[in-house]
């Protein structure tokens, strides 16, 4: 069984640019959540996709957007990058949405904005 | 608003000694609480969770946590530390039972000395 994978591992972008991060969920999982983890801090919930629909969003501006595809893989898009967007971006998948379902995290994509 | 506070950003113990990582929560409703571990360059792994059943929760790798409503605490313990326990530990509270919106603490880095 393949776990959650994310690509790329590392990425360097310039302020103002746009970036797309990718996540492949664990086999059989239809729910994907994205988190931002700044250096020295805990992860912050960005949003969640369940069966290709966004069904929860944290306190992030609209320039953070996402997609979930029919195979349940997902993308996180960030427009107009700011220096504070530098962080580790974590993707997590679960069998379904809700409290009864454990999340399985990927290793993350480290984004550096210069 | 629901939140968690981890007391101590860094804890150091000797191998074989008791591990105690502290977490206090704030919640106006019965909380769902979690402990996660993060090893270097990896995603988060669930250690254990409290979902209003038994107040003493046993997790993986010999860890356990006790939910104490009177103290609003959910401290993580392990009787005997192992070198492989060295990692970052996060306490978290689920904000929305319909999705994976969670609020994480800032983390506690555990160092285990030989």
pLDDT in tens, B61-107: 999 999 999 999 999 999 999 999 999 999 999 877 777 788 999 99
The residues in A 25-64 lying below 8 A from B, measured between CB atoms, are 31, 33, 40-45, 48, 50, 55-56, 58
pLDDT tens-place string over residues A65-88: 999 999 999 999 999 999 999 999
How many angstroms separate the CA of residue A101 from the nearest CA in chain B?
9
Distance CA(B109)–CA(B32), nearest Å, equals: 23
The answer to whether the CB atoms of B107 and A40 lie below 8 A apart is yes
Can you give the pLDDT at residue B23? 97
B6 membership: H or E segment, kind and range: strand B3-7
B87-94 and B102-104 strand pairing: antiparallel
Nearest CA in chain B to A3: B43
A8 touches chain B (CB under 8 A): no
Can you give the pLDDT at residue A95? 86
Query: Which one of B99, B101, B103, B108 would you mutate to disrupt binding with A, by most A Cβ within 10 Å of its Cβ?
Result: B99
Region A38-52: what's the mean pLDDT? 93
The answer to whether the CB atoms of A43 and B104 lie below 8 A apart is yes
| Torsion of the alpha carbons at B50, B51, B55 and B56, rounded to the nearest 10 | -40
* Nearest neighbour of A42 by CB, restricted to B42, B100, B105: B105
Can you give the pLDDT at residue B100? 79
- Examine the pLDDT at A1 and tell me if it is beyond 70: no
Distance CA(B67)–CA(B18), nearest Å, equals: 18
Chain B positions touching A97 (Cβ under 8 A) are 98-100
Can you give the pLDDT at residue B80? 97
User: If you count residue pairs, one on A and one on B, with CB atoms under 8 Å apart, how many are there?
Assistant: 65
**CB within 8 A of B16, min separation 6: which ones?**
B80, B81
Q: What is the DSSP letter of A52?
A: T
Can you give the pLDDT at residue A34? 97
Region A40-46: what's the mean pLDDT? 93
Distance CA(A13)–CA(A55), nearest Å, equals: 29
Can you give the pLDDT at residue B99? 77
Nearest CA in chain A to B89: A42
CB A44 within 8 A of CB B87: no
């Amino acid at each position: 069984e393949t776990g959650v994978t994310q690509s790329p591992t590392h990425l360097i972008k310039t302020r103002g640019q746009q970036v797309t991060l990718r996540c492949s969920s664990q086999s059989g999982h239809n729910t994907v959540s994205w988190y931002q983890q700044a250096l020295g801090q805990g992860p912050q919930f960005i949003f969640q996709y369940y069966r290709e629909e966004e069904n929860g969003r944290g306190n992030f501006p609209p320039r953070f957007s996402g997609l979930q595809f029919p195979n349940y893989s997902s993308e996180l898009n960030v427009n107009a990058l700011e220096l504070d967007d530098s962080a580790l971006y974590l993707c997590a998948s679960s069998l379904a949405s809700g409290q009864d379902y454990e999340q399985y995290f990927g290793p993350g994509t480290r984004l550096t904005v210069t | 608003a629901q939140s968690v506070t981890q007391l101590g950003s860094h804890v150091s113990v000797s191998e074989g000694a008791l591990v105690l990582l502290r977490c206090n929560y704030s919640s106006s409703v019965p909380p769902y609480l979690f402990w996660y571990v993060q090893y270097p360059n990896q995603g988060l792994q669930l250690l254990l969770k409290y979902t209003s059943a038994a107040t003493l929760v046993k997790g993986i790798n010999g860890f356990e946590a006790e939910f104490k409503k009177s103290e609003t605490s959910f401290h993580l313990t392990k009787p005997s530390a192992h070198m492989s326990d060295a990692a970052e530990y996060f306490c978290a509270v689920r904000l929305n039972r319909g999705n994976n919106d969670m609020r994480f603490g800032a983390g506690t880095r555990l160092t285990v000395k030989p």
